[in-house]
């Protein structure tokens, strides 16, 4: 707390309640309009030196303020003293919802308010100007203040159910005002309408912990329940820094793709056509002449093509064997091709070529052991011509697209989380759904109507 | 969140760079150690993991 400010806050003036005789402290003497006795809850005219009773209300302290009246706290650059407290409520679909408001006073800055609902807090400042009404793209009312558009959230009739302390207006239990809230988290514009006037204010969402720290309240701030109308989303679901980072890393991936593609040697180390004779005795497998795979670890693309295959298949088992180390990389590719006519329509099936990319093959001297087999083994003794081509160090583009997808995953997750958060927020509104969802729902329902 | 995303994206980019350097790509094979040098002269001495298994007979 700023000791310099503390000195200038006036000491409360001691008076007595004309209803019950209890001592009453006037903290905003000359500024407050009414003061409510903390013992009998009678509403007194603070502007009158005799504290004339405006409303008698024999009641006990039924609602305990979380911030004791008289507490001082530094919020938004000034020291504020809590001098009044009221509880208000609305009834929606037969259910009562209550929130609490604290009157804050600073002799130089005047009055501010703290609003609390389900342990969500807002610091509320009265507005000297009136926002401009409008309608957003989703046909919902808006209010514009200083060029910023706030979306209508909820309108209701609020009734004061409990008051205590000092107020800058003639507050009474049972007082009814029309309320309308327009939100743009973390801010909210609120209108309070009575028969005679409309008061506008702007609230800014404040974490409970900040309130507790400011007023030096004991224990920890109670955890907030649910999502408040002006609560900022914990995960940003609008384009922001993560999306900028995504663009930077996507560009980096593109750069890597270009770099490694340019660096890839794409060296053909074997390109040979063989003929497989299914019929006849003897070993079908054979080995190729040795070839050199240069450089360090790199991939090896194997293309197998049987250009003359017709209504048959061939499976080529292959083993890439390192002459020096005896290490073998065993794999196989199947090629097949079928065609014909069915009901007057011609058809084809499968593919005469196939390829495999062997990852991270160390450099060295290798040979390929090839062992073909085919349908001809069992049916027809037709020789099969096929080509085997080995290309060392080929570009592998798929990894960069996988990388892009991996970069997108957290952003999609964030967007989904943010959308869920917005859905929860707007559940409490007059509309039940966020503006965008409302349009989607509207579009769907109109489509259903058309179908009918 | 930005910090997490920065670290996460750096790991993704680093992994891709390393895979580019080492020639890693999508694909699989069975690695066999200690193939005798005699296979060079006698290919039938080596038995492929894939040879001899049933194949798909296509066509309608």
Domain shared by A218 and A317, yes or no? no
Name the domain boundary from A394, A413, A439.
A394
Position A405 scores a pLDDT of: 94
pLDDT (tens digit per residue) in A149-200: 999 999 999 999 888 888 888 878 888 999 999 999 999 999 999 888 899 9
Residue A412 lies in a domain: no
Cis peptide leading into residue A324 (ω within 30°): no
Higher pLDDT, A428 or A144: A144
Q: What is the H or E stretch that residue A316 is in?
A: strand A312-322
Hey, are the CB atoms on B55 and A361 less than 8 Å from each other?
no
Mean predicted confidence (pLDDT) in A42-68? 71
Residue A199 lies in a domain: yes
Number of compact structural domains in chain A: 2
Domain shared by A84 and A174, yes or no? yes
Residue A242 has its nearest CB partner, among B2, B46, B55, at B2
Q: Which ipTM value was assigned to this complex?
A: 0.80
Residue A359 has its nearest CB partner, among B5, B24, B59, at B24
The vertex-A339 CA angle with A336 and A345, nearest 5°, equals: 150
Q: Tell me if A245 sits within 8 A of B6, measured CB to CB.
A: yes
Inform me whether the C-beta atom of residue B54 falls under 8 Å from chain A C-beta atoms.
no
Residue B31 has its nearest CB partner, among A297, A329, A375, at A329
* Residue A249 neighbours by CB distance under 10 Å: 22
Mean predicted confidence (pLDDT) in A400-420? 87
Q: How far apart are CA A317 and CA B34, in angstroms?
A: 19
Q: Which residues of A315-343 are buried (b: 16+ CB within 10 A; e: fewer)?
A: bbbbbbbbbeeebbbbbbbbbbbbeeeee
* pTM, rounded to two decimals: 0.60
Residue A96 lies in a domain: yes
Residue A133: closest CA among A150, A109, A157:
A150
Position A56 scores a pLDDT of: 63
Domain shared by A30 and A161, yes or no? yes
Hey, are the CB atoms on B43 and A393 less than 8 Å from each other?
no
Mean predicted confidence (pLDDT) in A354-382? 84
Instruction: Quickly state the pLDDT bin for A147 (edges 50, 70, 90).
Output: very high
pLDDT (tens digit per residue) in B15-45: 999 988 887 777 778 888 888 888 888 888 8
Residue A189 lies in a domain: yes
Greatest mean pLDDT among A18-32, A197-211, A362-376 lies in: A197-211
Residue A247 lies in a domain: no
Domain shared by A209 and A353, yes or no? no
Q: Residues 333 to 352 of A: which have CB under 8 A from any B CB?
A: 334, 336, 338, 340, 342, 347, 349-350
Residue A335, domain CATH: 2.60.120.680
Residue A249 lies in a domain: no
Position B58 scores a pLDDT of: 56
Mean predicted confidence (pLDDT) in A387-392? 96
Domain shared by A280 and A390, yes or no? yes
Residue A303: closest CA among A389, A408, A402:
A389
Residue A375 lies in a domain: yes
Domain shared by A59 and A203, yes or no? yes
Angle subtended by helix axes A241-263 and B2-22, to nearest 10:
10
Instruction: Quickly state the pLDDT bin for A291 (edges 50, 70, 90).
Output: very high
Which range (A33-42, A103-112, A317-326, A381-390) has the least confidence?
A33-42
Distance from CA of A105 to the nearest CA of B (A): 37
Q: Kindly tell me if the per-residue pLDDT of A440 is higher than 50.
A: no
Hey, are the CB atoms on A285 and B60 less than 8 Å from each other?
no
Domain shared by A222 and A282, yes or no? no
Domain shared by A158 and A296, yes or no? no
Name the domain boundary from A208, A232, A256.
A232
Hey, are the CB atoms on B52 and A323 less than 8 Å from each other?
no
Q: Residues 307 to 336 of A: which have CB under 8 A from any B CB?
A: 311, 313, 315, 317-321, 323, 326-332, 334, 336
DSSP bridge pairs for A348:
A339
Name the domain boundary from A185, A208, A232.
A232
Average pLDDT score, chain A: 84
- Taking contacts as CB-CB distances below 8 angstroms, the residues of chain A near B3 are none
Higher pLDDT, A318 or B27: A318
Q: Kindly tell me if the per-residue pLDDT of A319 is higher than 70.
A: yes
- Taking contacts as CB-CB distances below 8 angstroms, the residues of chain B near A405 are none
Domain shared by A162 and A216, yes or no? yes
Domain shared by A271 and A354, yes or no? yes
Domain shared by A192 and A50, yes or no? yes
Q: Residues 410 to 429 of A: which have CB under 8 A from any B CB?
A: 410-411, 414
Rounded-to-10 torsion of CA A432, A434, A440, A446: 40
Q: Kindly tell me if the per-residue pLDDT of A308 is higher than 80.
A: yes
Position A443 scores a pLDDT of: 45
Mean predicted confidence (pLDDT) in A111-137? 94
In chain A, the percentage of residues whose pLDDT exceeds 70 is 87
Task: Provide the domain limits for residue A158.
Answer: 14-232
Residue A403 lies in a domain: no
Q: Which residue of B has its CA nearest to A290?
A: B40
- Taking contacts as CB-CB distances below 8 angstroms, the residues of chain B near A412 are none
- Taking contacts as CB-CB distances below 8 angstroms, the residues of chain B near A373 are 51-52, 55
Which range (A282-286, A299-303, B38-42, B55-59) has the least confidence?
B55-59
Inform me whether the C-beta atom of residue B18 falls under 8 Å from chain A C-beta atoms.
no
Residue B22 has its nearest CB partner, among A297, A321, A328, at A297
């Amino acid at each position: 707390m700023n000791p310099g400010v503390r000195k200038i806050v006036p000491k409360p003036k001691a008076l007595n309640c004309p209803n019950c005789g209890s001592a009453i402290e006037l903290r905003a003497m000359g500024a407050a309009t009414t003061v409510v006795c903390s013992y009998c809850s009678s509403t007194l005219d603070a502007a009158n030196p005799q504290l004339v009773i405006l409303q008698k209300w024999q009641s006990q302290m039924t609602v305990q303020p979380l911030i004791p009246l008289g507490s001082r706290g530094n919020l938004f650059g000034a020291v504020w003293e809590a001098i009044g407290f009221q509880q208000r409520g609305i009834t929606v679909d037969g259910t009562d919802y209550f929130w609490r408001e604290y009157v804050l006073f600073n002799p130089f800055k005047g009055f501010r308010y703290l609003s609390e609902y389900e342990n969500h807090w807002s610091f509320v400042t009265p507005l000297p100007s009136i926002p401009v009404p409008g309608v957003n793209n989703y046909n919902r009312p808006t209010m514009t203040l200083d060029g910023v558009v706030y979306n209508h959230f909820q309108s209701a009739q609020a009734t004061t159910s409990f008051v205590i302390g000092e107020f800058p207006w003639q507050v009474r239990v049972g007082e009814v005002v029309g309320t309308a809230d327009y939100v743009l988290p973390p801010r909210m514009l609120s209108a309070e309408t009575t028969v005679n006037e409309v008061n506008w204010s702007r609230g800014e969402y404040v974490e409970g912990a900040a309130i507790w720290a400011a007023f030096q309240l004991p224990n920890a701030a109670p955890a907030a329940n649910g999502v408040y109308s002006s609560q900022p989303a914990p995960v940003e679901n609008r384009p922001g820094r993560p999306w900028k980072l995504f663009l930077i890393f996507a560009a980096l991936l593109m750069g890597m793709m270009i770099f490694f593609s340019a660096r890839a040697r794409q060296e053909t180390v074997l390109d040979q056509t063989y003929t497989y004779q299914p019929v006849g005795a003897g070993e079908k497998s054979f080995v190729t002449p040795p070839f050199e795979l240069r450089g360090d670890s790199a991939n090896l693309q194997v293309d197998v093509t049987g250009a003359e295959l017709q209504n048959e298949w061939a499976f080529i088992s292959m083993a890439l064997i390192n002459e020096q180390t005896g290490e073998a990389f065993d794999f196989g590719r199947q090629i097949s091709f079928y065609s014909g006519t069915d009901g007057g329509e011609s058809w084809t099936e499968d593919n005469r070529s196939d390829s495999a990319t062997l990852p991270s093959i160390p450099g060295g001297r290798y040979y390929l052991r090839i062992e073909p087999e085919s349908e001809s083994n069992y049916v027809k003794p037709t020789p099969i011509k096929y080509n085997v081509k080995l290309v060392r160090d080929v570009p592998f583009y798929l990894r960069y697209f996988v990388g892009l997808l991996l970069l997108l995953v957290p952003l999609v997750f964030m967007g989904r989380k943010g959308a869920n958060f917005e859905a929860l927020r707007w559940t409490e509104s007059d509309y039940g759904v966020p503006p965008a969802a409302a349009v989607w729902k509207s579009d769907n329902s109109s489509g259903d109507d058309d179908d009918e | 969140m930005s910090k997490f995303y920065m670290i996460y994206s750096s790991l993704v980019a680093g992994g891709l760079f390393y895979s580019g350097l080492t020639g890693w790509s999508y694909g699989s094979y069975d690695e066999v150690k200690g193939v005798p040098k005699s296979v060079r002269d006698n290919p039938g001495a080596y038995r492929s993991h894939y040879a001899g298994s049933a194949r798909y007979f296509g066509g309608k």
